[in-house]
Structure 1
Amino acid sequence: MATAHTRAAAALGATASGPAVWGYQGRTLGRHATHRLHGACWLRLQAAPAGKEGGKHWEGQEHAAHLFPTVRKPTLHAIRDATLDGYAYRAELFDRVDDPVLCPDGPVLHHELDLPDVWFKRLREDLDTIAATATDRAAVRQEWIDRAVPQFTVRPAPQITEWTCAHGDLHLANITTGALILDWEGFGLAPRGWDAALLYAYSLLVPATAARIHTAFADVLDTETGRTAQLITAADLLQSSSRGDHPELTGPLRELVATLP
């Protein structure tokens, strides 16, 4: 990965610097970079076994750049694909984002935040834009809902009739202090209210911030479709916790499920 990243930087006319930042399970590698035309950038590399590249996550950043031109997110300047030693690599050169993410230690929020009204206004504008966008990509599928909801919430699986486009992985490690939304690999159709429900679920350990998020999205969350989205996101995160990810959320998620009608 490090060698492929260095080669991609050279091929794109960029100079990488600073510490390496690894993504989930080492599937991505990012570093600061400088480009003669674009200035301060971020060079992100993803990898897959050769012949197994492509698909939703591989193309997500590229598709999002074209599909959501007005949404606040890093500008994608260039893409380079290469194969090395049996692996396929995709390098993506973005504008560098200087304002930090709100939860740098991962998706689960562990400390209270004082989020201003303007932050929620910007986020809401962008989520409304995303939801109104047509796409044939899928972030969540009915088949998975049919399996996961009964297994992890002991509730009947809801049959979704309202699907809208969603970022798909909305949590405060993917949103900056300036309300820029990062990491677009998994966007696609999801039950209406998915993004707001996921953002809320990841904040459950910090009651004041969770309540603030719930209030900001009450018109979404306090509806039948919003409560359904909360049930499904709870199933999603309970499934993750059963695999060892964020076990501290298990109790609050079960409490959330118990409050849903």
Structure 2
Amino acid sequence: MRLDRASVVYGEHGATEGFRTSDGTWVRVERRQRWRINSAVWIGLEAAATIRGVKKPEWFQSATWSDTTRDVVWRVDEVELITSPVVGDLATAATLPDSWWTGLHESLAALGTHPTERVGMSQAHLTKRITEVFEGVDTIVDEWATAHTDLHWGNLSTEGHIIDWEDWGAAPRGHDAATLWQSALPDRRMASRVQHEFSADLETRSGKLAQLLQCANAIRAAARRGAPTPLSEPARAAADVLLAELRRA
């Protein structure tokens, strides 16, 4: 097949590119140093092909090859071309119909019950990130489910597709809803909408810990920057409520 070079979309960290193809599909190209190809992320798209009941691009095939000149390994995945735009921002999110939310509910419910040995968010990592910011919190998760783990407006299409499946795996129940909630924090109404839509997960102990993790991440990012961010201030306010609720439980 041929790649449409004019259609290129670059990944955030400069190690991936995506292209439309002459076969009417989408190709994602990635390069990694040799020692990093043992990561589960390396085969995330291919492994996600086993998931049923989730609206996402279909995976077709992949190829890998070693590049001794650059001392990297390349991987290319061919997937279904999704022509609907990503939601992208909170203004667009506010216009999504109820049917979109219903579809997302159905996708996340199906994903949550999918059996997997992959780890999307470990207990150790969650504990480390929360306790770096908040002291004296019992961080033991009592419910786990399979999650996408990077569910934000840029990874959701306006037709309800969930894209970018590199990091999926087991995570605390409510992790995906909490991640989406964090990306909605700058808009109080949208944050409330996410909490309302996914209250069954977010009101559980694991769901509250998942939200507290997102608050800690937002606060840590602001600390590294040395200034507040659109996420950090609402995250601090939300964290106060979550901490009180977790300590009363």
Equivalent in 148, 164, 167 of residue 167 of structure 1: 148
Give the gaps of 5 or more residues in structure 2.
Answer: none
Aligned to 1:42: 26
Give the gaps of 5 or more residues in structure 1.
Answer: 1-12
Aligned to 1:24: 12
Equivalent in 15, 28, 39 of residue 3 of structure 2: 15
**1:42 partner amino acid:** W
Aligned length: 240
Tell me by how many angstroms 1:112 deviates. 5.7
Kept in 2: contact 1:43–1:94 (CA 8 A): yes
CA–CA distance in structure 2, aligned partners of residues 112 and 180 of structure 1: 14
CA–CA distance in structure 2, aligned partners of residues 171 and 18 of structure 1: 26
Aligned to 1:130: 111
Cα deviation per residue 1:206-251 (whole Å; 9 max; x = unaligned)?
1222222221112221233322221122223434444449933111
Kept in 2: contact 1:114–1:209 (CA 8 A): no
Equivalent pairs: percent with the same residue?
A: 28
SS at match of 2:13: helix
TM-score by length of 2: 0.89
**2:28 partner amino acid:** R
SS at match of 1:153: coil
RMSD: 2.0
CA–CA distance in structure 1, aligned partners of residues 221 and 165 of structure 2: 20
Kept in 1: contact 2:52–2:110 (CA 8 A): no
Map residues 65-214 of structure 1 onto 2, 5 A cutoff: 65-66=49-50, 68-84=51-67, 85=69, 86-103=71-88, 109=90, 113-214=94-195
Aligned to 2:240: 258
CA–CA distance in structure 2, aligned partners of residues 238 and 168 of structure 1: 19
CA–CA distance in structure 1, aligned partners of residues 101 and 169 of structure 2: 22
SS at match of 1:202: helix
In the superposition, relative to structure 1, how do residues 146 and 21 fare at CA in structure 2: closer, same or farther (>3 Å)? same
In the superposition, relative to structure 1, how do residues 112 and 52 fare at CA in structure 2: closer, same or farther (>3 Å)? closer
Kept in 2: contact 1:136–1:189 (CA 8 A): yes
